[in-house]
Structure 1
Amino acid sequence: MGAHAGVSALAGGRPDRDFRAGQSHAPSADEKRLESVMRAVGFGTGGSGARRRTSRRRGQDMKPKTRDALDLGPDVIRYLLPHRRPFVFVDRITHFSREPEAALWAQKYISSNEDVFNGHFPGWHIWPGVCTQEGLGQCINLLMLLDGLCGGCAGLGVQADEFLELLRNLERGSRLHPGHAAEKNRFLFELLASAGNIVGMSAATEMKFLKPVFGGSRLDYYIRQTHRLDNIARFHVEASVDDALVAKGVMSSTVGITAPGMVRPDGGV
């Protein structure tokens, strides 16, 4: 999987058509180059209807509510994901909700210094679509873990809000905040360890890559669980830059896969 398809001048339209002015013009060398790259990695340009779809802004259901704020940075996320650098594609969780459906909002900051840009493409910082998809999959892992622990903590005498506050406390510690209560971290690590080495294996079933993503962008993720049957879950996923959709689709995940040798939080790694 390669670069995301389309830019404002090309997304969904003919390369010789200026949709903003409604007039034809000769394609520039850069437009020709971008179109050839898009076709080489397997993306077409479609028709004007496709352009209208790809340029729409995020739907209202993607907007998080203030009460769902959960600001967790990379030094907390490392306790929640089995992945390690350079294969961590989630930098920050911003919101998490359990009602009416489990949902997560997160971010990835795409530096121009990312190693992947050495080959994709030399001299042209286009973020690979497969990395966006992997980031969405990691968000699913985070959502399943947070939702599962919120539901399971009751058996340990801990309410969901108390568990989330423990995570916020750990975040305060990572930022050297004076309100950090270090004595609470051990209990949090015990709760996280109680989840075991369980991860979810995700599969993309209906992914569409709508616009290219470039170095220097902030990628915003939105994940919402739509179905759950036994250990199989289904999710609506979206990624956007500056409120414009760049990728969307449906992903499914098998819950309950044991990851041998996975380092747990109490391992201190």
Structure 2
Amino acid sequence: MYRNLGIDKVKEILPHREPFLFVDEILEVEPGVRAIGKRTFTSNDFFFKGHFPNFPIVPGVILIEFSAQVSASMILLHDEYKNLFGYLSGVENFKFVKKVQEGDTVIAKCEMLDFRHSVAKSKVELFVNDTLIAMGIIKAFFVNKNSLGGEF
């Protein structure tokens, strides 16, 4: 079990970088089982300029990506899977209950449902101030980093 992994540790775990790294902190993770991550959306986020002027709302696809990044930490912190690279491969039954605005801190609670044949499936619930704002299933396909030819 890991707790309170700040942005520097998040960058060691996830390959994403600004402006597409959406995890500020991993609050808690039990590798291969569950993870809880946090993101505070601020006026500096690139998408608020156009989504929407004078009424900034976090796009649903950004919330899905944030969920996928927190979910990936469950896999990538597992000793057996440290050399993997994940691709978002599917979203099932994702529902948005409330909007997320500039200044909101979103907590993602992710639970591994299944990981076989290189595909991880996790249940995600997103909260702002203990209020459920979105939920669904994230699927990701994982490959060995060495097979990609890049440096990670």
Query: 2:30 and 2:82 mapped to 1: Cα distance?
Result: 19
Contact 1:82 1:262 in 2 (8 A): no
Query: 1:97 and 1:75 mapped to 2: Cα distance?
Result: 19
Name 1:17's counterpart in structure 2: none
Map 1:85-104 → 2, pairs under 5 A: 85-98=18-31, 102-104=33-35
Name 1:52's counterpart in structure 2: none
* Displacement after TM superposition at 1:133 (Å): 0.3
Map 1:97-112 → 2, pairs under 5 A: 97-98=30-31, 102-112=33-43
Please, which of 47, 51, 66 is the counterpart of residue 120 of structure 1?
51
Structure showing the higher helix proportion among its residues:
1
Map 1:9-88 → 2, pairs under 5 A: 68=1, 70-88=3-21
Structure 1 unaligned regions, length at least 5: 1-67, 153-193, 264-269
Query: 2:139 and 2:77 mapped to 1: Cα distance?
Result: 17
State TM-score, norm by structure 2: 0.89
Name 2:110's counterpart in structure 1: 223
Contact 1:106 1:222 in 2 (8 A): yes
Structure 2 unaligned regions, length at least 5: none
* Displacement after TM superposition at 1:238 (Å): 1.1
Contact 1:93 1:104 in 2 (8 A): yes
Q: Number of residues paired by the alignment?
A: 149
Query: 2:64 and 2:125 mapped to 1: Cα distance?
Result: 10
Please, which of 136, 143, 146 is the counterpart of residue 256 of structure 1?
143
Give, as a single letter, the amino acid of the residue that structure 2 aligns with 1:213. Answer: V
Structure showing the higher strand proportion among its residues:
2
The 1:206/1:257 distance shift into structure 2, 3 A limit, reads farther
Query: 2:40 and 2:73 mapped to 1: Cα distance?
Result: 17
Do residues 208 (structure 1) and 139 (structure 2) align? no
RMSD across aligned C-alpha pairs, in angstroms?
1.8
Map 1:95-174 → 2, pairs under 5 A: 95-98=28-31, 102-147=33-78, 149=79, 152=80
* Displacement after TM superposition at 1:257 (Å): 5.2
Task: Kindly report structure 1 stretches of 4+ aligned residues shifted beyond 6 Å.
Answer: none
Name 2:85's counterpart in structure 1: 199
SS at match of 1:200: strand
Greater gyration radius: 1
* Displacement after TM superposition at 1:85 (Å): 0.5
SS at match of 1:205: strand
Contact 1:103 1:224 in 2 (8 A): yes
Q: Is the deviation greater in 249-258 or in 81-90?
A: 249-258
Contact 1:221 1:238 in 2 (8 A): yes
Name 1:163's counterpart in structure 2: none
Name 2:125's counterpart in structure 1: 238
SS at match of 1:133: helix
SS at match of 2:141: strand
